[in-house]
Amino acid sequence: MTQATITLRFVGTDLKPKVLTRLFNVSPTTTYSRGDSRGPNATKHGIPPYKVGAWLYSEDTAKVADLDAVLQRIVKIAPVGWCELSGLSGIQGDVFVGLFLSDDQNGFHISVETIQLLNERNLEVVFDVYCSDLEGE
């Protein structure tokens, strides 16, 4: 079993979150548009607004037996040709995978089918891998 955070991410200066929400037919975890405030007190504390828009869909899994299956399910949210179908340009998409491995784990695998799904959608996968004794935390 692996603990993981997986996020389907799309960012771009001209990103319109509502367009992607309609296209993907799923509610995102987080969205913001270029120029949106980073919070209620951001301006007062000198924090500039967002420079790009973003559409994020995340799943946190306390324990996942088949990381590859979860990754496939999340990647399939974006249809093949999502960029052309959205009518938006300059949008970059990827899948972030944060893995929290315990000392007794050997790693993980990504199947050929998952790699094909990522390729069809022109999505990169970004891994952050953390190793620790999860039982002791």
Q: Which helix (H) or strand (E) holds 53?
A: strand 53-64
Q: How many residues does the chain have?
A: 137
How many angstroms separate the CA atoms of 103 and 71, rounded?
A: 23
In a domain, 104, yes or no: yes
Structural domain including 106 reads 2-11+58-136
Partner residues linked to 2 by β-bridges: 64
In a domain, 31, yes or no: no
In a domain, 74, yes or no: yes
Q: pLDDT tens digit string along 7-22?
A: 999 999 989 999 999 9
Residue 92 reports pLDDT greater than 60: yes
Q: pLDDT tens digit string along 42-61?
A: 888 888 988 999 999 998 77
How many angstroms separate the CA atoms of 26 and 76, rounded?
A: 11
How many structural domains does the chain have?
1
Q: For residue 55, how many other CB atoms are within 10 A of its CB?
A: 28
Say if CB 97 and CB 4 are below 8 A apart: yes
